Amino acid sequence: MTFDEFLLFRNVIVRDGNHEKIIRLFYGYMQSVTGNERLLPNIIGELLNIDLSSVTAKTACLNGIFDGNEPLYDNVDLYIKFDNDIIVYVFGSERQNF
């Protein structure tokens, strides 16, 4: 599935460039038609260097729907809730040159 097909299939609306970067980074793990509940725990476990081998993704959303859980900051680019109630908020941002 191409990136544009994924946006249409999942009804994802790109808010800004930061959101698009996160979508492009993770859409390969979320593009299965039936869903693969192990892909996101595997990649998030690798990124955070924690063992998520015993959990599955319960919810993963790129549209800002949080299952009633409010994020620490606005404009979450990716929200993931695992079946053990661990919640991961992913924010994209532009690199700041100082």
Which tens digits make up the pLDDT trace of 17-62? 889 998 898 887 776 655 667 788 888 999 889 999 899 888 888 8
Asked if pLDDT for residue 97 goes beyond 70, the answer is no
Helices within 1-98 (DSSP H only): 3-9, 17-30, 39-48
Both tokens assigned to 39: 């892909």
The residues that bridge with 79 in the sheet, in sequence order, are 61, 89
Write out the residue range of the structural domain in which residue 13 sits.
Answer: 3-90
> Looking at the domain assignment, is residue 24 inside a domain?
yes
User: Which residue carries 């790129």 as its tokens?
Assistant: 62
Number of domains composing the chain: 1
Other C-beta atoms closer than 10 Å to the C-beta of 52 total 20
> Looking at the domain assignment, is residue 59 inside a domain?
yes
Would the pTM count as exceeding 0.85?
no
Asked if pLDDT for residue 93 goes beyond 90, the answer is no
